[in-house]
Amino acid sequence: MLELDCDVAVIGAGTAGIAAHRAATEAGARSVLIERGAGGTTCARAGCMPSKLLVAAANAAHEARNSDLFGIRVSGVAVDGPAVLGRLRAERDRFVDAVLAGIDALPGYERLEGSARFHDGRNLTVGEHTRVAFRAAVIATGSSPTIPKALRGIGGRTLTTDTLFESPDLPDSLAVLGAGAVGIEIAQAMARLGVPVTVLDAGDAVAGLSEPDLARQAAGIFGSELELHLGSTLEAAAPDGQGVRLDWIDRDGRAQVTRVARVLAATGRSPNLDGIGIEAAGLRLGADGVPDFDRRSPVCAGAQILIAGDADAWRPVLHEASRQGRIAGANAAALAAGRAVEAPVPWTSLAMVFTHPQVAVIGAPYDPDAAGRLTGTVDFSDQGRARVECRNRGGIRVWADREGRLLGGEMLGPDVEHLAHLLTYAIEDGLSAQAMQDRPIYHPTVEEGFATALSEITHIMTRF
C-alpha cells in the first residue's frame, strides 16, 4: 500500500472540496484532494444548472402559449420532450466538464481517486491502495437525495434529481413529494411543459416562504398551474401497471388516491457521511448524525478535522458551500501549521427559488413576535414595470429594527433574484431603510417596488 504524508486531506471534490483544496494550497499547505465518485459538483451535475435548463425550456413554452395579451398570436405550440432533455444534458455536461477540467489540471500528486475512510484523527485510507497521514482534514463529501420510506418499494418509478435528468423523455404524469425549492421549481417546469403534475407536502408553505400573506399568494399562484396539496401525508406507494399508485391523506383527514407515471422525491438531501469512519476519527456527533462543528471556523469538536458544504447540513447552497470550503481550507492549513484558526462572521443568509414568479428569503427570518420590528410591504399587482410585462403577481416584505436598520425579508415576484441581492448587500453593510431609499433607482424598473417597501418603513418611523 502506498504511504502518503500531507498537511491537509480534503475528502470530496465538489464545490466545497475544490474550494478547500485551493485555499489550503494557497496558504502554503501540502493538500490532497480525494474523490470517490464521478465528481463535477452537485450544482453542475444534478442541481442548480440542469434544473434551470428545465425551467428555461418550460418558460419558453409558457410564454409562447400566453402571448395573446400582448397582441401576439402563437398557435400550435408543441413540446418535444426528448429535445428538451437532450439540450438540458448537453448544456449540463458542458458545466460538468468545466469543473472536471479544473480538477484534471491539478498535479497528480494532489489528487487521489477512491473511497476515503478515517482510521483515527490523523490517518485515513483511500480504497485499498493508499494510506494517508494528515495533520488536518476537511470533510466535504456532499449530500444525496433522501427517498421517503414509502417510495422504496417502487424501484425505478421513483425519480430524484440524480436520475430525473437522465430520462429519455418527459413523464406522462408526475407526482412531486415536497413543495420546497427543488420540488416546486421542477413541478412548475414540468407543468409548463405539458406534464400533469401533483405536488404533496406535509407543510403549509411553498418554496420556503413563511410570511403568511406571501405564502398564501404563492400557494394560489402555483396551485393554478398544477395540483398542489399542502398539509398532506403520503401513506403508501405501490406499482400500478407501468406507473405508481399513491395513497395519501389530505389536510382534512380524508383518504385520497393519485395515479401517476412517476414520482419525484424532493423532500431534501442527506449528508454523505456513511462509510468514512466518522467515529474512528474521534468526532462527536449531534442528534442529526452530523459532527458537532463551529459554524464560523468550521472546525469539528474533538479533532483537527473540519466540515464544509452539504456535508454539514447547514446551508446547502452553492455560494455557501464555496465560502465554507475556502474558510475550511485556510483553517485546515493553519491547524496543520500549528497556527490559530480564523472564525469569520457568517454571511447574511440568502435563498432563492427560480419559479415564476421567483421567490427569495433573505436574512433574519419572519417572526411575528419580534419586538420592535418594522415591516415594509409592496404589492406587485399594480407595480408599473411588472404590469407592463404582465408579471404583476406577488409582493415584498422587508423588516427592520426600530432604528430602521434592515434585518431581512421575503419576496415573491418578478426579478426578485436581483432585488434580493440589493437587500442582502444592504444588510451586510448595516444600512437603514432610509439610507437605501436615498440611493438612485431608475424608472421604470421593478426596483421601484423595493423602494416602495423601504419608504413604508421610513414612514412608520416618523410616528415614533
Residues 204, 189 share a domain:
yes
CATH of the domain at 354: 3.30.390.30
Residues 128, 7 share a domain:
yes
> In which element (H, E) is residue 203 found?
none
How far is residue 353's CA from residue 333's CA, in Å, rounded to a whole number?
35
pLDDT of residue 38: 74
pLDDT of residue 39: 73
In a domain, 256, yes or no: yes
pLDDT tens-digit profile of 404-454? 999 999 999 999 999 999 999 999 999 999 999 999 999 999 999 999 999
In a domain, 227, yes or no: yes
Residues 405, 257 share a domain:
no
Say if residues 206 and 179 touch (Cβ distance below 8 Å).
yes
In a domain, 251, yes or no: yes
**Span 2-18, average pLDDT:** 96
In a domain, 342, yes or no: no
pLDDT of residue 464: 65
pLDDT of residue 157: 96
**Span 31-57, average pLDDT:** 89
Residues 56, 180 share a domain:
no
Domain that holds residue 320: 2-145+270-336
The model's confidence at residue 256, banded by pLDDT at 50, 70 and 90, is very high
Q: 399 is written with which cell numbers?
A: 423588516
Domains of the chain: total = 3
In a domain, 345, yes or no: no
How far is residue 9's CA from residue 305's CA, in Å, rounded to a whole number?
9
pLDDT tens-digit profile of 309-342? 999 999 889 999 999 999 999 999 999 999 999 9
Report CA-CA distances (Å) from 267 to 5, 170, 204. 40, 21, 14
3-state SS, residue 378? strand
3-state SS, residue 384? helix
The model's confidence at residue 47, banded by pLDDT at 50, 70 and 90, is confident
In a domain, 284, yes or no: yes
Residues 140, 84 share a domain:
yes
How far is residue 334's CA from residue 343's CA, in Å, rounded to a whole number?
12
CATH of the domain at 232: 3.50.50.60
In a domain, 343, yes or no: no
What contacts 318, CB < 8 A, 6 or more positions away?
A: 15, 41, 43, 47, 48
Residue 302 has pLDDT above 90, yes or no: no
Task: Tell me the DSSP string of 137-156.
Answer: EEE---EEE---GGGTTSGG
- Burial of residue 145 (number of CB atoms within 10 Å: 0-12, 13-18, 19+): buried
What contacts 187, CB < 8 A, 6 or more positions away?
A: 174, 176, 179, 197, 199, 222, 226, 264
Residues 260, 181 share a domain:
yes
pLDDT tens-digit profile of 132-168? 999 999 999 999 999 999 998 898 999 999 999 999 9
In a domain, 341, yes or no: no
pLDDT of residue 63: 96
Query: How many Cα atoms occupy the beta-carbon half-sphere of 314 within 13 Å?
Result: 23
Residues 288, 199 share a domain:
no
How many angstroms separate the most distant Cα atoms in the chain? 75
Task: Report the candidate in 325, 329, 301, 297 with the shortest Cα–Cα distance to residue 311.
Answer: 325
Query: How many Cα atoms occupy the beta-carbon half-sphere of 376 within 13 Å?
Result: 30
Angle of CA points 261, 264, 270, to nearest 5°? 155
Of the residues 235, 267, 299, the one at which a domain ends: 267
What contacts 403, CB < 8 A, 6 or more positions away?
A: 432
pLDDT tens-digit profile of 71-123? 999 998 999 999 999 999 999 999 999 988 888 888 888 999 999 999 999 99
User: Order of strands, edge to edge, in the sheet holding 233-240?
Assistant: 233-240, 243-249, 255-260
pLDDT of residue 104: 83
Average pLDDT value over all residues in the chain: 95
The model's confidence at residue 221, banded by pLDDT at 50, 70 and 90, is very high
Residues 101, 33 share a domain:
yes
pLDDT of residue 121: 95
Of the residues 336, 369, 391, the one at which a domain ends: 336
Residue 288 has pLDDT above 90, yes or no: no
Task: Report the candidate in 133, 158, 130, 131 with the shortest Cα–Cα distance to residue 145.
Answer: 158
Residues 423, 435 share a domain:
yes
How far is residue 181's CA from residue 43's CA, in Å, rounded to a whole number?
14
User: Order of strands, edge to edge, in the sheet holding 350-353?
Assistant: 350-353, 358-363, 406-413, 395-400, 374-379
Only one residue has cell 454539514, namely 312
Of the residues 308, 336, 364, the one at which a domain ends: 336
Say if residues 269 and 143 touch (Cβ distance below 8 Å).
yes
Residues 18, 93 share a domain:
yes
Only one residue has cell 397582441, namely 71
Residues 178, 116 share a domain:
no
Residue 313 zone, left/alpha/beta (φ > 0; ψ -120 to 50; rest): left
Residues 139, 46 share a domain:
yes
Burial 222-245 (b: 16+ CB within 10 A, else e): beebbebbbebebeebeeeeebbe
What contacts 415, CB < 8 A, 6 or more positions away?
A: 358, 446
